[in-house]
Structure 1
Amino acid sequence: MIYLHALLVFALAIANCPFTVADVTTTINPTSNWATWEGWGVSLAWWAKAFGDRDDVADVFFTLDTTVFNSQVLPGLGLNIVRYNAGACSWNNISGDVMVVSPDMITSRQMDGYWLNWDSTDSSSTSWSWFVDSNQRNMLWNARDRGVDIFELFSNSPMWWMCYNHNPSGSNDGSSDNLQSWNYDQHAIYLATIAEYASVNWGFSFTSVEAFNEPSSDWWNGETGTQEGCHFDVSTQATVIAYLRSELNSRGLTSTIISASDENTYDIAITTFDSLGSTALGDVGRINVHGYQYGGGRRDILYSLASGAGKKLWNSEYGESDATGQELVSNLILDFIWLHPSAWVYWQALDIEGWGLIEGDNDNLTIGSASQKYFVLAQFTRHIRPGMQILDGGSDYTVAAYDSSTEKLVIVAVNWDSAQYINFNLSEFSKGGVNGALVQRWSTQIGSGEQYVGYNDTYINGEVFWSYFDNGTVQTFEVDSVVL
């Protein structure tokens, strides 16, 4: 009896202690403001070319609904950004000229282009076909109909007939410009015309247009390329940007911003930023960068450059083959802490060998199961929503976001260490929730195990709450009645 009484006293003491038996504590900083969140997104090339007619695919990616998908119950990711790829391929003959196809080109990565020949810039002429690329366009419309509200038009390569070697996979050495100098403006006309056509005929307007994709990289080789791609020297980028701004303006698309330059890594993006020049930077409304430097690179310097120039910053493309979700959550948290993007976009939502959030074969048109990475990403996309203020989470394992309209604080945290309790301290807020109030939480195990499970077992004690984390666990918490 004495032993049981002692246990009861100890349990009550733990329950009323502001810092319970926890190994680490993180304190959220309410005075920070790293970005106003614009949203989560995905590029539509190449998977939408293959599966653009699938309504269930659109449901799982572009709604927050729970969907039964290939016998799996999937929580919708609620993505609100799509990047639509303006293709570079066509199979017509232009006065004896035809497209050159790399011997290693993957068929599913050849994207149909709208401008078939150089005879006319008039989009209503026979030089243009607006019926190609129907599947990618159908997924674009499916996304729009499900609430997607940010649209970016991007190019992997100019139309093949604008290229020196007529190969939309790149120059013959990979490191030389492949856009013919006399077609700099034609590339801008192509993209601006698509943007204009969309605003008139497709039921939305593109928020931004990006004329390049990893332009400084040297692997866009027409003799070995497996996809569309094109190298652009920085000076060429600056010239094309000026043409693109002029072409958009002449069509009344003055509010459509230009994004640049979608470099492969943070460090290359820094070099490009420093070299573009003030005129080109003045025409750029947002800095886009890809996240393929993973755990490396000076994210902080790129953020300082972008913010110092008054530019928003996106991680506009990220992907890797780790289906467990470990690399994704690690690099995503690094982006939040150091890059401070206002949006984050995944590359191939459906793909093979772990690259896809859902396993899919774009050539054989087969779809499998969602990987654990899908559920890891859901911890972020379903809770950190557009309009929220991104806060300093106080540690290298925490991301925080605040919704001022609902006075809700969202915390996403990962535990890389041995199983432990983690404290979350809200004492720096004017009001850190309500003592005794429920904190909803959701849990996902990296690799295998829990996929996306909700719990109602966590409560605020004073201005602190805590939760038990197994090793390799991602958890999200939503705290109500929080005031900055």
Structure 2
Amino acid sequence: MKQTLNREWLLGLALSAATVPTGSADLTTTISSAANWGTWEGFGVSLAWWAKAFGTRSDLADIFFSTEWTTYNGQSIPGMGLTIARYNAGACSWKTVNGSAMVVSPDMIASRQMESYWVDWFNSSPSSSSWSWSVDENQRNMLSMAKARGANIFELFSNSPPWWMCLNHNPSGSDDGSSDNLQSWNYDQHAVYLATIAEYAANNWGVSFQSVEAFNEPSSDWWNGKTGTQEGCHFNFSTQATVIGDLRTELNNRGLSSTLISASDENTYDLAISTWNNLGNTATSNVGRINVHGYQYSGGRRDTLYSLASGAGKRLWNSEYGESDATGESLVTNLLLDFRWLHPTAWVYWQAIDGSGWGLIDGDNDNVSLGAISQKYFALSQFTRHIRPGMRILDGGSDYTVAAYDSTAQKLVIVAANWGAAQYLNFELSDFSSPGVSGAVVPRWITQVGTGDQYSSHNDTYISGTKFWSYFPTGAVQTFEVSKVVLLLWTEDRYDPSGFRLDSDKG
């Protein structure tokens, strides 16, 4: 959720780097049966802002949260099967309180104003008149439809505290963009707000939030109340640490001790590293998962952030990603980099519906109008429909390959991409005790970025000994599902979660 200038500058970094095959010679990659980069939790999407506009559309819920094929604008569309939904706790309300009212930035975009449940500071009781639980009906409705279609992990997140907690009463940020905007006497009240929503949702919405995130890109300096187009708030390290402690207390006081605190949803991998290193031991001990946004694209030290997370025993999510490349090439490039170096256990797209290439479906949230399905939608579906929750993420052996293993079904899933000249890509499975049945069909699905195949399936690929291969046109993203693949027995308990062998005994 960046200001446009920053988004476009960062997008240029992604488009300037190619990390998948560019040569014309055939390439072979060996899939490792030993590596274990974690148990996959799922792909997801944030509900703000598109669900505010389109939260009554059951066909959109089908498209994003089921794996069923749905008719959209006369076209049959494969459901993405997203299983994670991030719900935004709003900061806006239009109630004048003792002569005070919310200050609105002159550049504010109306569809990005999310309504707050806590409308004034007189009473913290959720049953009092200081709270309005009827607002934000559309986003809440999409949350319920997501759950009904199989989504099973939910996160509550905040872009800004409610306006009346802000120093300038503007939930778009401080007057200079780089100063804290949460009043110091309301640090604990911000925690009360989020914990109360989490408790209310569990008791009244039938939704239990796995995690709560109190910040959104808190170290960034573009949250300026004079020019902001959305909700946002700067928090320095010490303020974040205080709020994290307060939030842990408030969740525990409501019987939500198992609800994780995630932090800090920084804009880039490098900012996330800096923030984590400066939060202090008390705050980091209260954080159950590190969240980071993927707006550094091809830059940044994904590997360093992963090392910090694994060293601290924390899970790691890419909790927000987006860009304006509707072809899908940038998305696939950066998703492959995340799997290769960041090793998240979940990955969340930002705007499911938006204009200028940002949306998976082109649309206008202000005018509540919809356009065509983006080619980016089909490219992402190559991952979301096949790499499913509970799978073990393996080492694909190259920068252009992702591999995941379903131990129950004994199924290996491979997703690979080719940006260069058309060529054959070979996949070697000799590292597995059973690499599938020689001669067996390997179903494949193909999407071509930009134009061409959207999501077509084929049964023309076969196992030959311990390998198979497939022809990749330029710009092709393909998924393969190999049945009857068995991991070497000793890999299950003789490797640590980082994929390093613990001993040399295969016993």
SS in 1 for 2:370: strand
Give yes or no for the alignment of 1:283 onto 2:283.
Answer: no
Q: Which residue of 1 aligns with 2:212?
A: 209
C-alpha separation in 1, matches of 2:383 and 2:106:
40
Which of 437, 440, 446 aligns to 2:440? It is 437
In structure 1, the partner of 2:270 is 267
Residue deviations 1:117-146 (CA, integer Å, cap 9, x gap)? 000000000000000000000000110111
Matches for 1:34-45 after TM superposition, within 5 Å: 34-45=37-48
Deviations 1:54-88 (A, max 9, x none): 00000000000000011221100000000000000
Determine the structure 1 residue equivalent to 2:391. 388
CA distance in 2, matches of 1:417, 1:364: 39
Shift of 1:417: 1.8
- What displacement does 1:449 show? 0.4
CA distance in 1, matches of 2:80, 2:472: 23
Deviations 1:281-319 (A, max 9, x none): 000000000000000000000000000000000000000
Shift of 1:22: 6.9
Structure 1 unmatched runs, 5+? 1-20
| Deviation by residue 1:348-389 (Cα, 9 ceiling, x = unmatched) | 000001000000100011001111000000000000000000
Q: 2:110 aligns with which of 107, 112, 115?
A: 107
Name which of 212, 235, 240 aligns with 1:237: 240
Are the equivalent residues in 2 in contact too, given 1:72–1:369 (CA < 8 A)? no
The answer to whether the Cα contact below 8 Å between 1:22 and 1:466 also exists between their aligned partners in 2 is no
1:5 alignment partner in structure 2: none
Q: In the aligned structure 2, how far is the partner of 1:137 from the partner of 1:50?
A: 11
Counterpart residue identity of residue 73, structure 1: S
1:76-475 maps to which residues of 2 (within 5 A)? 76-475=79-478
State the shift of 1:89 in Å: 0.3
Report Cα offsets for 1:211-248 as digits up to 9, x if no partner.
00000000000000000000000110000000000000
Contact preservation (8 Å) 1:153, 1:208? yes
Residue 480 of structure 1 corresponds to 483
CA distance in structure 1 between the aligned counterparts of 2:137 and 2:399, rounded to whole angstroms = 44
Query: Which residue type is aligned with residue 476 of structure 2?
Result: T
TM superposition shift of 1:442: 0.2
3-state DSSP of counterpart to 1:368: strand
Unpaired segments of 5 or more residues in structure 2? 1-23, 488-507
**CA separation in 2, counterparts of 1:476 and 1:250?**
46
Output the amino acid matched with 2:215: F
The aligned amino acid for 1:423 is N
Equivalent residues of 1:314, 1:343 under 8 A apart: yes
1:24 aligns with 2:41: no
Equivalent residue number for residue 15 of structure 1: none
1:281 corresponds to which letter in structure 2? T
CA deviation string 1:186-216 (max 9, x = no partner): 0000000000000100012100000000000
Per-residue CA deviation, residues 318-356 of structure 1 (Å, 9 max, x unaligned), is: 000000000000000000000000000000000001000
- For the residues of structure 1 that align with 2:131 and 2:407, how far apart are their CA atoms? 47
Question: Secondary structure of 2:240's partner?
Answer: helix
Percent identity (aligned): 73
Give me the whole-angstrom Cα distance separating, in 1, the residues matched to 2:143 and 2:45.
11
Letter of the 2:277 counterpart: D
The one-character-per-residue Cα deviations of 1:151-201 (angstroms, maximum 9, x if unpaired) are 000000000000000000000000000000000000000000000000100
CA contact (8 A) 1:103 1:223 kept: yes
Q: TM-score, normalised by structure 2?
A: 0.91
Name the TM-score, length of structure 1 as normaliser.
0.95
> d(CA) in 1 for partners of 2:483 and 2:256?
41
Aligned length: 464
- Name the counterpart of 2:71: 68
Secondary structure of the corresponding residue to residue 154 of structure 2 = strand
Distance in 2 between residues matched to 1:173 and 1:400, nearest whole Å: 45
Residue type at the aligned position of 1:285: G
Distance across 1 between alignment mates of 2:67 and 2:35: 28
One-letter amino acid of the counterpart of residue 91, structure 1:
W
The DSSP-based 3-state class of the residue aligned with 2:459 is strand
- Residue matched to 2:9: none
Structure of larger gyration radius: 1
Classify the secondary structure of the residue corresponding to 2:358.
coil
Select between 71-80 and 291-300 the one with higher mean Cα deviation.
71-80
Inter-partner Cα distance in structure 1 for 2:212 and 2:82:
19
Q: Secondary structure at the match of 1:478?
A: strand
- What SS is found at the alignment partner of 1:345? strand
Letter of the aligned partner of 1:399 in structure 2? V
In structure 1, the residue corresponding to 2:460 is in which secondary structure? strand
Q: What is the DSSP-based 3-state SS (H/G/I as helix, E as strand, rest coil) of the residue aligned with 2:263?
A: strand
Distance, in Å, in 2 between the alignment partners of 1:377 and 1:74 is 13
